[in-house]
């Protein structure tokens, strides 16, 4: 016990997919440390508003703090703006600022923010732990990232982010097709990644609001 | 304790008056005296926060590496107590007197929590009647593993919170999940200061209004979760597999007690930092909160595997 | 007051030529105008009672309490400016918590009363503040060994602290005090004292000035495990009914 670390890696995988009029944010519900599973039903996803959902993997202590801070700021914003919640792009910028504010003692979290932009199109924002971020059409973060990302690249039929002039990389898939793909991704990652499993929580944001469903994964 | 007066006021006592006088510039802050008290510490924790060049990004090495309880540790203590003014603060880098696992499960009527009563000084069984399960609110128990002094400090925080509720006399009392949320923030804030409270905490109780049972646990760096069964330390490896097989939220009190005793026995057999002197605490909607008198369990050390530990592991150890 | 108007009543930092500090005496006046406050220290406990005028028909009954707890077993009844009372009680809470944090046991009532007195006294020493317009009755029950010692103290705006078997503050303090003197406090139980206190408050209440009032009453007794608690509603109702009946009997 000669060293002490303020960090732990509690695992977890997040996936987000944007479509023309919907956005999917999903994360598994396993919480691990080392080779131990701490609990099998622990949400990593927070619904910040009707247009904004955040999922984070990494260190659970920081994740809890970050989600609380953003939740509070969102609430204060709404109070100051006649009850109107923060837009998804605004929340995206604020999340970046929040992460960067702790540049030299970072939140050890890997975040995906999903929602609808002002025109009602799906939006996905992907971050690193210290706040650099980018809007994309789909993204994956956490312990299963390397397993899932190539599948998304291959299956979503999205335009390449390398194209110039840029083309939206939102997927042309329908909502139902995209949800199916996300489920397949988690089932696949759960086979090989010990930090992904137990269940996947899928949050779908569309013009009707926010819907949440869960699908069991393997417990091993 | 100066609730209703600006703190630079002469009424608040000579120390503050002097501080206020020293701060002649117009920027005298409303909370000036509090800031002054902590400024020294803050400056130092910033010094700790700034990573030395080439340091690993997510690990923090203590100023010196020591094996616990060797002669070097005593020298380390001396370095703390004899530190010259202005030297960096030394924070906890390892615990001194420790408690081992706390186990807890939900059952039909509420929650049941168990732990032994040992405070171990390294490998020495130093204190044998330590309460590691204490009432934290009218229907909430908190159990702790890890540094006993830190836990006793936490208990005091909780006592003060409760006293304030009683004094206010407005009928508002802390619910289990509120105690849990509070303790999570306390633990996480201390880890942010690189001055952790060296404990794993278990919070269990019943919400009096809804009758809903609550069980959660929080580590010293703020990793926390709720579940139908929890266990800290060794218990996470030894007891939770049993819980996963046998615990149900609708089990009877007898079944719950039998399961906890089984788990305690397993922990006692395999954890050398434990003793055969346990307490079990319960919280139920009907009969409230109880912590039992200490008791011991029957043991059987004649198992073949105990007598010949290497019989089936030839060559490994 | 011969020196009134001579300019010696403008500051609490100047004595009048005949050795008085008028501002402090005026603060005492604020206390004397208050609703009647009663404290009885009896054999096994302490009872605090307040006659609280109903300022409006729209006021919520039971709200705006004037008897507060400073610690689990310390009660404080304030007479005078409500805001000043609250300030003093907040200070007392801080003192109690601090003491318990440091010494691990409840603050002795006498020490608390003296600390509050010192605090209140400070407000008589500086030109920049006005004296505290509140007197407080401090009720406590110290434990040493198995012994419980109920105690009652009075802290006045001038910073004086006194210990009492029973005393009264506010409008009807004189008649209330002479009623208290008739009681055999040393043999009375806290339960009996609750009824006695209710009776006195009803007796000294001046119908012609304040029509309606609310009786607020707390106690420290074996029944409360020596903690400071409100007198239970049914017990209070019973005491009030008996008090009213006794007064009607007297009138006839």
Q: Where are the domains of chain A?
A: 16-216
Specify the higher pLDDT residue, B28 or B267: B267
pLDDT at B35 over 80: no
Contact A65 B222 (CB under 8 A): yes
**Do residues B311 and B317 make contact, with C-beta atoms less than 8 angstroms apart?**
no
Chain C residue with minimum CA distance to B156 = C101
Predicted confidence band of residue B80 (pLDDT cuts 50, 70, 90): low
B247-302 pLDDT, tens per residue?
999 999 999 999 999 999 999 999 999 999 999 999 999 999 999 999 999 999 99
Handedness of CA A14, A17, A23, A24 (dihedral sign): negative
Give the chain B residue whose CA is nearest to the CA of A62. B222
Give the pLDDT band of residue C169 (cuts 50, 70, 90). very high
Q: Which residue has the tokens 């650099």?
A: A132
Task: Please state, in angstroms and rounded to a whole number, the distance separating the CA atoms of residues A28 and A14.
Answer: 7
Q: Once rounded to an integer, what is the mean pLDDT over residues C171-196?
A: 96
Residues of B in contact with A1 (CB under 8 A): 68, 93-94
Q: Which CATH superfamily is domain B97-291 in?
A: Aminohydrolase, N-terminal nucleophile (Ntn) domain (3.60.20.10)
For the segment A138-165, the average pLDDT, to the nearest whole number, is: 94
pLDDT bucket at B53, cuts 50 / 70 / 90: very low
* Chains A and C touch, using 3 or more CB pairs below 8 Å: no
Chain B residues within an 8 Å CB radius of A64: 184, 188, 222, 224
DSSP B173: -
Chains C and B touch (3+ CB pairs under 8 A): yes
Q: What percent of chain C has pLDDT over 90?
A: 85
- Say yes or no: domain A16-216 is CATH 3.40.190.10: no
Q: What domain range is C247 assigned to?
A: 22-251
Preceding peptide of A165 cis, ω within 30°: yes
Q: Report the number of distinct structural domains present in chain C.
A: 1
Instruction: Find chain B residues with C-beta within 8 A of C219's C-beta.
Output: none
Q: C107 lies in a domain?
A: yes
Does B200 have pLDDT greater than 50?
Answer: yes
pLDDT band at B310 (very low <50, low <70, confident <90, very high): confident
Considering only A62-76, A175-189, B33-47, C56-70, which range has the smallest mean pLDDT? B33-47
Residue B22 has pLDDT above 60, yes or no: no
**pLDDT at residue C69 above 70?**
yes
Residue B135, SS3 per DSSP: strand
CB-nearest to A108 from B58, B192, B237 is: B58
For chain B, the domains span: 1-47, 66-94, 97-291
Q: Are B149 and B97 in contact (CB under 8 A)?
A: yes
- Interface partners of chain B (CB pairs < 8 Å, 3 or more) are A, C
Question: A61: which 2 tokens?
Answer: 């202590």
Of the listed ranges A3-7, B36-40, C60-64, C222-226, the one predicted with least confidence: B36-40
Say how far apart CA C133 and CA C130 lie, in whole Å.
Answer: 8
Entry field: residues in chain C: 252
Q: How many residues does chain A have?
A: 220
The Cα A29–Cα C204 span in angstroms is 69
Q: What is the mean pLDDT of residues C108-122?
A: 98
Report chain C's mean pLDDT, rounded to a whole number. Answer: 94
CB atoms B11 and C71 under 8 Å: no
Instruction: Report the range of poorest mean pLDDT among A87-91, A196-200, C45-49, C210-214.
Output: C210-214
pLDDT at B309 over 90: no
Task: Write down the mean pLDDT value for chain A.
Answer: 96
Interface test with A, best of B50, B61, B225 (most A CBs within 10 A): B225
Q: What is the pLDDT of residues C74-99, one digit of tens each?
A: 999 999 999 999 999 999 999 999 99
pLDDT of C58 reads: 93
- Asked if B225 lies within 8 A of A42 by C-beta distance, the reply is yes
- The answer to whether B152 and B198 have CB atoms below 8 angstroms apart is no
- Which pair of tokens denotes residue A184? 């397949």
d(CA B231, CA B115): 10
- pTM equals 0.84
Q: Which residues of B are catalytic?
A: 92
- Interchain pair C71, B163: CB under 8 A: yes
Q: Does B120 have pLDDT greater than 90?
A: yes
Residues of B in contact with A10 (CB under 8 A): 223
Share of chain B above pLDDT 90, in %: 65
Q: Is A131 left (phi over 0), alpha (psi -120 to 50) or beta?
A: left
Residue B37, pLDDT > 80, answer no
């Amino acid at each position: 016990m000669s060293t002490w670390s303020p960090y732990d890696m509690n695992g977890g995988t997040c996936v987000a997919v944007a479509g023309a009029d919907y956005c999917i944010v999903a994360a598994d519900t396993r919480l691990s440390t080392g080779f131990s599973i701490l609990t099998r039903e622990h949400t990593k996803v927070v619904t910040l508003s009707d247009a904004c959902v955040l999922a984070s993997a990494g260190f659970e202590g920081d994740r809890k703090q970050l989600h609380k801070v953003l939740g509070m700021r969102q609430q204060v914003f709404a109070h100051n703006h006649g009850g109107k919640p923060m837009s998804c792009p605004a929340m995206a910028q604020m999340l970046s600022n929040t992460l960067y504010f702790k540049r030299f003692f970072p939140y050890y979290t890997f975040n995906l923010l999903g929602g609808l932009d002002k025109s009602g199109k799906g939006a996905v924002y992907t971050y690193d732990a210290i706040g650099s971020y980018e809007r994309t059409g789909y993204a994956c973060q956490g312990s299963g990232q390397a397993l899932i990302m190539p599948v998304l690249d291959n299956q979503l039929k999205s335009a390449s982010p390398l194209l110039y002039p840029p083309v939206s990389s939102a997927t042309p898939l329908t909502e139902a097709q995209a949800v199916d793909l996300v489920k397949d991704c988690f089932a696949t990652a759960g086979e090989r990644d010990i930090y992904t499993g137990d269940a996947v929580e899928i949050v779908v944001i569309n013009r009707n609001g926010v819907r949440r469903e869960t699908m069991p994964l393997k417990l091993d | 304790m100066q609730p209703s007066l600006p703190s630079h006021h002469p009424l608040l006592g000579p120390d503050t008056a002097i501080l206020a006088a020293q701060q002649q510039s117009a920027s005298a802050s409303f909370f000036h005296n509090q800031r002054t008290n902590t400024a020294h510490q803050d400056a130092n924790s910033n010094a700790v926060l700034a990573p030395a060049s080439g340091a690993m990004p997510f690990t923090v090495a203590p100023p010196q590496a020591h094996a616990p309880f060797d002669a070097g540790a005593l020298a380390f203590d001396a370095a703390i107590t004899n530190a010259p003014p202005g030297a960096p603060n030394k924070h906890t880098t390892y615990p001194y007197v420790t408690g081992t696992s706390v186990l807890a499960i939900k059952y039909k009527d509420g929650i049941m929590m168990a732990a032994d009563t040992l405070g171990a000084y390294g490998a020495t069984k130093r204190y044998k009647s330590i309460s590691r399960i204490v009432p934290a609110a009218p229907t909430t128990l908190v159990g702790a593993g890890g540094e006993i002094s830190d836990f006793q400090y936490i208990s005091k925080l909780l006592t003060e919170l409760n006293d304030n509720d009683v004094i206010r006399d407005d009928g508002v009392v802390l619910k289990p999940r509120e105690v849990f949320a509070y303790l999570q923030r306390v633990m996480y804030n201390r880890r942010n200061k690189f001055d952790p409270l060296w404990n794993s905490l278990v919070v269990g109780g019943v919400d009096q209004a809804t009758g809903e049972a609550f069980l959660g646990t929080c580590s010293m760096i703020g990793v926390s979760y709720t579940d139908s069964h929890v266990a800290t330390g060794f218990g996470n490896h030894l007891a939770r597999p049993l819980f996963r097989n046998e615990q149900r939220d609708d089990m009877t009190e007898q079944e719950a007690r039998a399961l906890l005793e089984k788990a305690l026995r397993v922990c006692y057999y395999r954890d050398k930092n434990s003793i055969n002197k346990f307490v079990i605490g319960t919280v139920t909607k009907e009969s409230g909160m109880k912590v039992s008198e200490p008791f011991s369990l029957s043991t059987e050390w004649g198992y073949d595997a105990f007598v010949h530990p290497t019989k089936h592991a030839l060559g490994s150890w | 007051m011969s020196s009134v108007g001579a300019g010696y009543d403008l500051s609490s930092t100047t004595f009048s030529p005949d050795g008085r500090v008028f501002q402090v005496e005026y603060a005492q006046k604020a206390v004397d105008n208050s609703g009647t406050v009663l404290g009885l220290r009896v054999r096994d406990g302490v009872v605090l009672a307040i006659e609280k005028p109903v300022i409006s028909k729209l006021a919520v009954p039971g709200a705006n309490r004037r008897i507060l707890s400073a610690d689990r077993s310390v009660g404080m009844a304030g007479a005078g400016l409500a805001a000043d009372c609250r300030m003093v009680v907040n200070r007392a809470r801080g003192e109690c918590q601090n003491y318990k944090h440091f010494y691990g046991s409840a603050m002795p009532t006498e020490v608390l009363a003296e600390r509050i007195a010192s605090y209140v006294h400070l407000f008589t020493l500086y030109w920049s503040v006005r004296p505290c317009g509140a007197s407080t009755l401090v009720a406590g029950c110290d434990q040493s060994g198995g012994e419980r010692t109920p105690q009652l103290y009075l802290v006045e705006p001038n910073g004086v602290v006194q210990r009492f078997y029973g005393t009264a503050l506010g409008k009807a303090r004189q008649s209330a005090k002479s009623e208290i003197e008739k009681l055999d406090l040393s043999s009375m139980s806290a339960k009996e004292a609750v009824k006695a206190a209710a009776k006195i408050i009803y007796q000294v209440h001046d119908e012609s000035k304040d029509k309606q009032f609310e009786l607020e009453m707390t106690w420290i007794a074996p029944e409360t495990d020596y903690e400071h608690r409100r007198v239970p509603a049914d017990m209070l109702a019973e005491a009030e009914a008996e008090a009213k009946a006794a007064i009607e009997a007297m009138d006839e």
